[in-house]
């Protein structure tokens, strides 16, 4: 066995692409995968931002499950000062911006919540649907 390979630290991924199950368990699985990646890179992302990213992952996944057919997949990339969260689904339909909803509304506020957490939102067509992408930035140290 090559000694250099045996003693080298394991590479920590900065990007994961993870297929999600259909249905309500998709959000739980997406949060679990995002929490894992953020834990592997604890210095890359401040704790408060980690919490925001987990909320964004939940909202993007819940929107996909509610409004689009599977398959669903989460792609999360983390680097110093920035995280990109992409949720893909099989619908080519763009997310709809709802009219201004009251603070007590229980539905239709996902994209508003994501923006309130400071994320920029983008939609990208994909061969079998689309990706809704949120980008979160913070001061890099």
Over residues 64-92, mean pLDDT: 95
pLDDT at 12: 57
How many percent of the chain have pLDDT more than 70? 81
Edge to edge, the sheet with strand 82-89 lists 15-20, 72-79, 82-89, 129-137, 120-126
Token output for 39: 């834990």
pLDDT at 13: 57
pLDDT at 53: 97
Distance linking the first and last C-alpha atoms of the chain: 38
Q: How far apart are CA 40 and CA 81, in angstroms?
A: 16
Each residue's pLDDT tens digit, 99-109: 555 555 555 67
Q: How far apart are CA 58 and CA 139, in angstroms?
A: 24
Bridge partners for 125 per DSSP: 130
Burial grade of 105 (CB within 10 A; 0-12, 13-18, 19 or more): exposed
Q: How far apart are CA 18 and CA 68, in angstroms?
A: 18
Decide: helix, strand or coil at residue 24.
Answer: coil
pLDDT at 108: 62
């Amino acid at each position: 066995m090559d000694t250099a390979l045996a003693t080298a630290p394991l590479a920590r991924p900065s990007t994961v692409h993870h297929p999600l199950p259909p249905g309500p368990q998709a959000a739980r699985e997406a949060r679990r995968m995002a929490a894992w990646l953020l834990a592997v890179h604890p210095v890359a992302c401040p704790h408060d931002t980690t919490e925001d990213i987990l909320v964004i992952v939940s909202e993007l996944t819940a929107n996909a499950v509610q409004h689009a057919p599977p398959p669903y997949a989460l792609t999360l990339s983390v680097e110093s000062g920035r995280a990109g969260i992409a949720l893909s689904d099989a619908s080519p339909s763009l997310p709809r911006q709802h009219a201004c909803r009251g603070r007590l509304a229980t539905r239709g506020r996902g994209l508003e919540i994501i923006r309130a957490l400071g994320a920029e939102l983008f939609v990208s067509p994909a061969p079998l649907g689309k990706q809704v992408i949120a980008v979160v930035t913070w001061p890099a140290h």
